Amino acid sequence: MYIKIHEAYRTIVALADAELIGQTFSEGKRQIELRPYFFQGDKKSKEEIIEILKEMDKEDATFNIVGEKSIQAAIMAGIITKEGIIEIQGIPIALGLF
């Protein structure tokens, strides 16, 4: 998994499964493009990702999470629930404030 933290008026955490970087997924009016400059940050283990997500949740960050492994890590970190997940072409995605 790759995680990248963007500092803006609010911290944005981009997390995606490594194999999805560079791909675009579309379904109906929904589309997500996993651009490397946004999603490809540091490659981390699931345990490291979980700790980072917990810390960023305390900072009132917004999250962009894409992919099975990334979604599972976010659920384990307690920042999202299954109800907050959408799918585009079978790829699980969670976007926004949680």
Query: Where in the chain are the domains?
Result: 2-96
> Going along the chain, which residue ranges are E strands?
2-6, 12-16, 24-27, 30-33, 42-43, 62-66, 86-88, 91-96
Per the structure block, which two tokens stand in for 81?
Answer: 């629930």
pTM for the full predicted model: 0.92
- Sequential pLDDT tens for the chain (98 residues): 999 999 988 899 999 999 999 999 999 999 999 999 999 999 999 999 999 999 999 888 999 999 999 999 999 999 998 888 999 999 999 988 65
Q: Is 89 helix (H, G, I), strand (E, B) or coil?
A: coil
Does the domain at residues 2-96 carry the CATH identifier 3.40.50.150?
Answer: no
Number of helices (H), then strands (E), belonging to the chain: the values are 3, 8
